[in-house]
Structure 1
Amino acid sequence: MLGLGNIARKVFGTPNDRKVKATAPIVERINALEDEFRALTDEGLKDRTQALAQRAMGGESLDDLLPEAFANCREAARRALGLRAFDVQLMGGIFLHQGNIAEMKTGEGKTLVATFPAYLNALTGKGVHVVTVNDYLAKRDSEWMGKVFGALGLTTGVVYPQQPEAEKKAAYAADITYATNNELGFDYLRDNMKSDLGQMNQRGHNFAIVDEVDSILIDEARTPLIISGPAQDRSDLYKAIDELVPSLTEEHYEIDEKTRRVGYTDEGNEFIEARLREAGLLPEDQSLYDPESTTLVHHVNQGLRAHKLFQKDKDYIVRNDEVVLIDEFTGRMMAGRRLSDGLHQAIEAKENVEIKPENVTLASVTFQNYFRLYDKLSGMTGTALTEAEEFASIYGLGVVEVPTNRPIARQDEDDAVYRTAKEKFDGIVEAIRVAHEKRQPILVGTTSIEKSETLSQLLTQAGIRHNVLNARQHEQEAQIVADAGKPGAVTIATNMAGRGTDIQLGGNVEMKVLEALAADPEADPDALRARIEEEHRADKEAVLASGGLFVLGTERHESRRIDNQLRGRSGRQGDPGRSSFFLSLEDDLMRIFGSERLDKVLSTLGMKEGEAIVHPWVNKSLERAQAKVEGRNFDIRKQLLKFDDVMNEQRKVIFAQRREIMEAKDISEIAEDMRHQVIDDLVAQHMPARSYADQWDVDGLAEAARTELGLDVPVAEWAAEEGVEDEIVRERLETASDEMMAEKVQAFGEETMRSVEKQILLSTIDKKWREHLLTLEHLRSVVNFRGYAQRDPLNEYKTESFQLFESLLDGLRADVTRQLANIRPMSKEQQDALVQQLMQQRARAGAAGTPADGGQPAGTPGGAPAAPRPAAAPAAAPATAGALIGAGTEAMRGPDGETATAPRPGFDESDPATWGTPGRNDPCPCGSGKKFKHCHGAI
């Protein structure tokens, strides 16, 4: 008897059915326009693009333009690629344009589908990003689909690592830009570290189409993108803390060796707090529980861990004045590996060896928060329905299952469960042997490189020829997977292998043609293709006769989606196929979820060695287990995102403020507001409201005015006047500071002073933001301990991070005001002396004097100092008062100890275009003496 839900679905259809049905009238309108667009000339297609773009920019909605745009794009693809999109591909394109995830099975032509919404949304002139999982696919798809966009009169760009800046800027300026998620995220961070709008590459976040959306927005979203750089030297802090830890007694800390955790007791907190005050590391008016103490608490905890959890000659050894970690499983040294978050430095302090600096986060963003920047987001994949809740919750994306062009003919067999891994692998080898003998192509999915190599050895022993595909280059993956459909081919692949390249029965004709032309460039391409197509027809018939591609999974993954990805390689576009998973009770998933109960069932059945149980209820039981794991992983990602959302709000404020400053021609009012706010704070601090004159700290205010404002004013005389109030003192300080800054404008010149203000403000924002990120990292690492005090760690993190952000803004105002107050123009003699010094350093080093941060100019056209980091001025730079600024800034001082490299023929140190492609760890060709990755190759 049918339930009410089933009856309703039969009458009204599922929500997915209704969405698919709603596209039918739109597809009919597109099809009705086909003859009209076929009649257009090649130039006519481009002219129609111009007309559509004018209408889009004139305010007409893209929904209204969709039928004509899709019809134009379909005709361009037919002419440029010989591919006429099916109706279901148009449906997929409609769903993408609407901001959904289109779930389309493997082989349904998702790459072509993306051209339709990309073309339509590019008509606004705001740019479209098509996101792929690797650089090979980004380049391949941009070249392949670029032919379609070119036929429509649009430009296509591709972004890739180590790309020349001019080429990258042009790629982002194109109508449609192909790139990986990593490059897009890193470029977003890099752009928001630039000091000039003209240096920024991305021009906004209008619309993104994410290919393999489940991989990018879920699997890879666990790890944030981080741009790091060397931190300041904290050796003294590590050593000072290290001297305190040995004085602790057993009552001061608790240790749990099972979980390798150690923490201070209440007595320990009081003891270490007192010792830190004695050492001058903790101010008298500050406790370890204050937000300002977060970084210090972090290092104190790491010092305790270094002494109580890490033992010399067990966890590490000291060799050649260096702490080298030992692998707990193999007992081997792990040269080059370092513990993070200052723990390695704490051990180095403990062992009294050289303390090497930490890396500090300069900028970071999660994929979740990067992709939520887009005004509209969409995605494509073969497997998304199982993660529909996460897509909706995190990204606001709906998932729509697009029907296949032809019915799926693949046979999905029930799982075969063996008792032991050995029995399972014996069964796998036998299944492969049987299929191989009838020339059926087989794709074997494994969960790790180690297991793929184990199976490879077994097949070699059985005399079965095969290909192994794991951690090789993407180009090789594409080639091997393209051959995986040949008769009798056996391909062992890890989960991610071969994405983006279809397994075609009989082999991939295009790949075969390219191979043949590469082997014999003089051959007639047409004759070659005719011969290969004839051979392919015979191979395809043989494969069809054998039952199509056989996908064999050697283990169930934690996620059903990964299993479905593997299964979906078979049965593309209505082809016959077969899939089966071989499991054992020793597999991780089976061992964790219910293997004992299943083992009893197998024992009751009296199964012999080598036999397997195959039953639908086993599949259902496993799917329930997988759903539980998926839910748990989703909860973990959701919790991590809640913490990152706190930082993301602050990140958006900082990045928006930076951009506003770069866009402004004159920020003197901002600088003035900051200066007046600092004066307000200083007066409030030294002359508290509702206090008597004899309670004022007049000397302290006078000293603060000298150090913070650069003013030597008679504060004591002002305070001694009869009837004077704090407001009068405040007004006089503001007037004096305004007059001083007006004098600086006269000395430097209006244009130069405005440029100086902008560069100092930007560099100070960057410095403060880097320090803030480090503090937040430390806060994040210790805030979970608040849970033991029945306090919500997330709420604690929100409260304290907000307080820290307010402190950042207060410190920003004070630092900018102090720097601007202390700058002064140099005399002609000082300028000449500094230029001479820089030239001598340059001559000793043989360097071109390019900045250490990878190509930022040492000064703006107006002569302002560089931002965000100090850099040497070019030897030929004009010695103007604006270009060379003395006390109060390090912006123009050249570094000592630079080393030079021998120049190559045609090589120019000052021209990166002549450098070729330096290795990441090679010396930078500019001659700075730094590694390329820390200089011009810096991310």
Structure 2
Amino acid sequence: MVGLGAIARKFFGSANDRKVKTYRGRVEAINALEPEVAALSDEELRARTAEFKKQLAEGAKLDDLLPAAFATVREAAKRVLGQRHFDVQLIGGMVLHDSGIAEMKTGEGKTLVATLATYLNALEGKGVHVITVNDYLASRDAGWMGRVYRFLGLTVGVIVHGLDDTQRHAAYACDITYGTNNEFGFDYLRDNMKYERGSMCQRGHHFAIVDEVDSILIDEARTPLIISGPLEDRSDFYNTIDTFVPHLDDADFEIDEKQRTANFTEEGNEKLEKLLSEAGLLKGEGLYDTENVSVVHHLQQALKAHKLFQRDKDYIVRNGEVVIIDEFTGRMMPGRRYSEGLHQALEAKEHVAIQPENQTLASITFQNYFRMYDKLAGMTGTAATEADEFADIYKLEVVEIPTNLPVRRIDDDDEVYRSAGEKYKAIVELIGECKDRGQPVLVGTTSIEKSELIAEILKKNGYRQADVSDPLAFRVLYDGDQKTQEERVFAVLNARYHEQEAAIISQAGVPGAITIATNMAGRGTDIQLGGNADMRIQIELGDMEEGPEREAKEAAIHADIERLKQIALEAGGLYVVATERHESRRIDNQLRGRSGRQGDPGHTRFFLSLEDDLMRIFGSEKMDSMLQRLGLKEGEAIVHPWINKALEKAQQKVEARNFDARKNILKYDDVMNDQRKVVFDQRLELMDGEDLADTIADMREEVIEDIVTRHIPEKAYPEQWDTDGLLEEVRGVLNMDLPVKDWAEEEGIADEEVRDRLRRAAAELMARKVGQYGPDIMRQVEKALLLQALDQLWREHLATLDHLRSVIGFRGYAQRDPLQEYKTEAFTLFEAMLASLRQIVTAQLMRVELMQQEAPELPGDDDLPPMQATHGGEPIDGYADEGNVALASRSNRATATERDQNDPSTWGKVGRNELCPCGSGKKYKHCHGAL
């Protein structure tokens, strides 16, 4: 029975169809301009950029310029690249300009689409960032599409790993900057650790286009970018802890694969207490005494390392290092380390050198980094399944862009077998059939381990693995001739061969090619039937000089590829054979999308067994008994659309659970993010301020206020004052020896008089220091001390929040909302950090003695602590508060005559102890300035 929704869509079109239709009018307007723009000379076409900028300066909006600008870019691409934007690509460009996500199938030219919105938004001169998933794509796209931008008079930079600050500064100063998500995020964190505005690289966050947006904003959203410094080496401790895990039996621990957790049972606790006691690591009487918290934590991490993390699936050991494998892309993540001691536990498990743990100096998640942009857009082949998350978290609407040519790919229903052995046997048979008819095959697997298992099975069935380390030898094996057909050769693409990724993918569409790949299979690079001409020319001709001979060989390669393409087309195009379902439908759709590009034919089929991870974790026992009752024989598969629907529902449940987890994490992360923004904004104000004397004076007054409040209760008699404590703090913090006890004996004295006397004495002492060393020198001393103290306290605050986050969940047992508790505690901690900052800076300045009257330099970038940048570890459980807290910065005050009592926007910076400009008669901090 056809649903009402389906009937409505048939008559009115889907919401996506209606959205796409709204862009058609502007497409026609752009096409109408094509003859006029095509008639321009190169110089006249280039001059349009200056004309567009002039129109913007005179008040025009980007939307007004869109048709003319898009027509200009299309003409430039035709002349420079020999590529003309299709109408659907123009729609994709408009979606990007409107801060949307353009979902475009593989091979539809997302890279070219980005040029449209990038050029238009770059005209404002505020910088456009184009984000890619790796350095190769950033460099490739900057060089390839950069030709269009430079032709039109815009500057292009690229940010890749290994650049120094000077090179980064120059790249960010360009109109358009390409780079990876990691590099942009790390540069933001590094900039906010510097001491001079001029040494900061980035110049703001105006507009970003994120390529493979689902990978960056969904898959990687839970792992933070962390800049950290090393702590002490504890290799022996980790190695000792690792020796305990092999002594444990299955009854000693519980593993939950769904939640990825591992915990000890009562039996396990008793056994561990005995082992720890014998090793001299147990303090107190029991394992869970407070002195043993760290030991228990690292025991749990060692248990996870052994029981939940598998070598060649979650990580590989390469050159004596444990390197994480990204579960979504299958790529290695060099430099990325698991946090909380888990990476050290894996290193101990694999008996490689253990790197010391690190202290977090700065961190941010991609969720919060990319939400800083005034305008954000994205492109990918698979976003529709995560449309709700994009809308909820990033306010981005997903628009599916129609393909330029109809999709001719055939997607078969899944085949479900009872055992993995039966499944692999069916896969080998299908590969053989494809090989016999010259059809290229891409075998998709979920891990390195599975890809190598398939490789071993093929070898046992008479196939030979290609030596992909030698590009020329590899090329010959894929030349599509009869010898190759008979030889039955295959190539493997996983994180072990990531250097050869481009070469392997470039030939995966050759007739008879068999490529076994993990999820890394060519994100950003298309599998072209017949092979990739550019890659073949690069491999076969290398550095051969330009001339008639090279031109002839290039023409021969193009002709050969055309011949091979026809063979592959006749054989049915690329056949994608998937060996199991992933938790996410999106990853499955990416794999399917490798086939059937640009209207080519293609075929896809998923082979499953009840022993697959997804099936096993999500209830394969019921299905197994059902299949037995149906009389399914060995070697037979069940194939039915209902099976597909059931699996899709299981995947939807996993996706929903992951979304909830990311959403919950974001709520925690927002708490720290708000605090981070306050601290980073304050650092900029401090760096920009030439004279921080007012700020320092206000901080000193706050400290005096706190000291007096602590030791003189409100409306207390002098005999009730804590004069000993007051005297001790005045000496310790303010570096003054004042007759505080004598003051207490004066008749009629009150706490306010004590405050005034302390303020005057402290101000006189500071005035003497300014007179002694000179105002210029003291201003630099104040700035240097303030920035250094703020940085040190912020690092300690990050560590405190980490510890708070790890235990706040226990508040739930007391019927309290952990998130609300975290917000309250984090806000209190932040206020305590500000109080510590005021006290530390005041105490240091009241004691400062300069040996010579030379202006001390602010710490430079060379004075930053030794640090390393890592892309997170395990998903963080959250971090900043809604409270609009600001550090005490009082520069740029408006004068009393400039202030309008009824208009706070005219007040400028108001001192905390000034009378409130509103005329209430109260101090500002007790009135409009109250936190």
One fold, TM greater than 0.5?
Answer: yes
In structure 1, runs of 5+ residues without a counterpart are: 243-254, 265-297, 317-324, 347-354, 832-861, 873-939
- What amino acid is aligned across from residue 856 of structure 2 in structure 1? G
1:257/1:6 Cα in 2 relative to 1: closer, same or farther (>3 Å)? Answer: closer
* Counterpart Cα distance in 1 of 2:764 and 2:672: 39
SS of 1:378's equivalent?
A: strand
* Counterpart Cα distance in 1 of 2:264 and 2:636: 49
What residue is the counterpart of 2:193 in the other structure?
193
Aligned mate of 2:665, from 640, 644, 652: 640
Alignment of 1:349-388 (within 5 A): 358-388=357-387
Task: Compare 466-475 and 141-150 and name the one that shifted more.
Answer: 466-475
What residue is the counterpart of 2:632 in the other structure?
607
Is the 1:73–1:116 Cα contact (8 Å) retained in structure 2? yes
What residue is the counterpart of 1:651 in the other structure?
676
Q: Please state if 1:481 is matched with 2:505.
A: yes
Aligned mate of 2:541, from 499, 517, 522: 517
- What amino acid is aligned across from residue 578 of structure 2 in structure 1? G
What residue is the counterpart of 1:699 in the other structure?
724
What residue is the counterpart of 1:51 in the other structure?
51
Is the 2:254–2:265 Cα contact (8 Å) retained in structure 1? no
Is the 1:763–1:869 Cα contact (8 Å) retained in structure 2? no
Alignment of 1:759-770 (within 5 A): 759-770=784-795
Q: For each residue in 1:252-293, what CA deviation from the matched residue of structure 2 results, as whole angstroms up to 9, or x when unmatched?
A: xxx9854765899xxxxxxxxxxxxxxxxxxxxxxxxxxxxx
1:597/1:651 Cα in 2 relative to 1: closer, same or farther (>3 Å)? Answer: same
SS of 1:501's equivalent?
A: coil
Identity of aligned residues (%): 59
What residue is the counterpart of 2:152 in the other structure?
152
What residue is the counterpart of 2:225 in the other structure?
225
Task: Compare 21-30 and 507-516 and name the one that shifted more.
Answer: 507-516
* Counterpart Cα distance in 2 of 1:345 and 1:491: 35
SS of 1:364's equivalent?
A: strand
After TM superposition, give the deviation of residue 227 of structure 1 in Å: 0.9
Q: For each residue in 1:188-225, what CA deviation from the matched residue of structure 2 results, as whole angstroms up to 9, or x when unmatched?
A: 11111111101111111111101001111111112111
* Counterpart Cα distance in 1 of 2:533 and 2:201: 39
In structure 2, runs of 5+ residues without a counterpart are: 242-250, 256-261, 267-286, 312-316, 323-336, 346-353, 464-487, 866-931
Is the 2:214–2:383 Cα contact (8 Å) retained in structure 1? yes
1:307/1:537 Cα in 2 relative to 1: closer, same or farther (>3 Å)? Answer: closer
Alignment of 1:268-417 (within 5 A): 301=290, 303-304=292-293, 306=295, 310=299, 341=340, 358-417=357-416
SS of 1:488's equivalent?
A: coil
What residue is the counterpart of 1:864 in the other structure?
857
Q: Please state if 1:534 is matched with 2:533.
A: no
- What amino acid is aligned across from residue 384 of structure 2 in structure 1? L
Alignment of 1:195-210 (within 5 A): 195-210=195-210
What residue is the counterpart of 1:668 in the other structure?
693
Equivalenced residue count is: 772
* Counterpart Cα distance in 2 of 1:417 and 1:344: 37
Q: For each residue in 1:436-487, what CA deviation from the matched residue of structure 2 results, as whole angstroms up to 9, or x when unmatched?
A: 1111011110000011011111212222311100014655211210110111
* Counterpart Cα distance in 2 of 1:652 and 1:302: 36
Is the 2:288–2:296 Cα contact (8 Å) retained in structure 1? no
What residue is the counterpart of 1:578 in the other structure?
603
What residue is the counterpart of 1:98 in the other structure?
98
Is the 1:417–1:613 Cα contact (8 Å) retained in structure 2? yes
- What amino acid is aligned across from residue 90 of structure 1 in structure 2? L
- What amino acid is aligned across from residue 447 of structure 2 in structure 1? S
Task: Compare 25-34 and 598-607 and name the one that shifted more.
Answer: 598-607
* Counterpart Cα distance in 2 of 1:167 and 1:626: 45
Q: Which has the higher contact order (CA 8 A, sep 6+)?
A: 2
1:680/1:155 Cα in 2 relative to 1: closer, same or farther (>3 Å)? Answer: same
1:819/1:59 Cα in 2 relative to 1: closer, same or farther (>3 Å)? Answer: farther
After TM superposition, give the deviation of residue 612 of structure 1 in Å: 1.3
1:868/1:36 Cα in 2 relative to 1: closer, same or farther (>3 Å)? Answer: closer
Is the 2:131–2:211 Cα contact (8 Å) retained in structure 1? yes
After TM superposition, give the deviation of residue 632 of structure 1 in Å: 0.9
What residue is the counterpart of 2:519 in the other structure?
495
* Counterpart Cα distance in 1 of 2:645 and 2:761: 79
What residue is the counterpart of 1:751 in the other structure?
776
Aligned mate of 1:725, from 743, 750, 756: 750
* Counterpart Cα distance in 2 of 1:871 and 1:195: 9
* Counterpart Cα distance in 2 of 1:326 and 1:568: 36
- What amino acid is aligned across from residue 851 of structure 2 in structure 1? M
* Counterpart Cα distance in 1 of 2:181 and 2:310: 36
After TM superposition, give the deviation of residue 302 of structure 1 in Å: 6.8
What residue is the counterpart of 1:548 in the other structure?
573
* Counterpart Cα distance in 2 of 1:460 and 1:345: 36
Q: For each residue in 1:865-906, what CA deviation from the matched residue of structure 2 results, as whole angstroms up to 9, or x when unmatched?
A: 42699689xxxxxxxxxxxxxxxxxxxxxxxxxxxxxxxxxx
SS of 2:524's equivalent?
A: coil
SS of 2:515's equivalent?
A: strand
What residue is the counterpart of 1:461 in the other structure?
460
* Counterpart Cα distance in 1 of 2:671 and 2:384: 29
Is the 1:469–1:480 Cα contact (8 Å) retained in structure 2? yes
1:85/1:434 Cα in 2 relative to 1: closer, same or farther (>3 Å)? Answer: same
Q: For each residue in 1:413-457, what CA deviation from the matched residue of structure 2 results, as whole angstroms up to 9, or x when unmatched?
A: 111111110111111011001001111011110000011011111
* Counterpart Cα distance in 2 of 1:161 and 1:735: 54
After TM superposition, give the deviation of residue 47 of structure 1 in Å: 1.4
1:231/1:330 Cα in 2 relative to 1: closer, same or farther (>3 Å)? Answer: closer
Is the 2:93–2:114 Cα contact (8 Å) retained in structure 1? yes
Aligned mate of 1:782, from 807, 811, 824: 807
- What amino acid is aligned across from residue 751 of structure 2 in structure 1? D
* Counterpart Cα distance in 2 of 1:628 and 1:143: 42
* Counterpart Cα distance in 2 of 1:11 and 1:219: 37
1:473/1:93 Cα in 2 relative to 1: closer, same or farther (>3 Å)? Answer: farther
1:866/1:499 Cα in 2 relative to 1: closer, same or farther (>3 Å)? Answer: same
Q: Please state if 1:625 is matched with 2:614.
A: no
After TM superposition, give the deviation of residue 688 of structure 1 in Å: 1.8
1:166/1:603 Cα in 2 relative to 1: closer, same or farther (>3 Å)? Answer: same
1:800/1:662 Cα in 2 relative to 1: closer, same or farther (>3 Å)? Answer: same
* Counterpart Cα distance in 2 of 1:807 and 1:256: 43
What residue is the counterpart of 2:881 in the other structure?
none
Aligned mate of 1:471, from 488, 491, 495: 495
Q: Please state if 1:428 is matched with 2:427.
A: yes
- What amino acid is aligned across from residue 506 of structure 2 in structure 1? A
What residue is the counterpart of 1:36 in the other structure?
36
* Counterpart Cα distance in 1 of 2:38 and 2:296: 77
After TM superposition, give the deviation of residue 826 of structure 1 in Å: 1.1
Q: Please state if 1:449 is matched with 2:448.
A: yes
Please tell me the root mean square deviation across aligned C-alpha atoms, in Å.
3.1
Q: Please state if 1:9 is matched with 2:35.
A: no
* Counterpart Cα distance in 2 of 1:263 and 1:230: 34
* Counterpart Cα distance in 1 of 2:144 and 2:550: 19
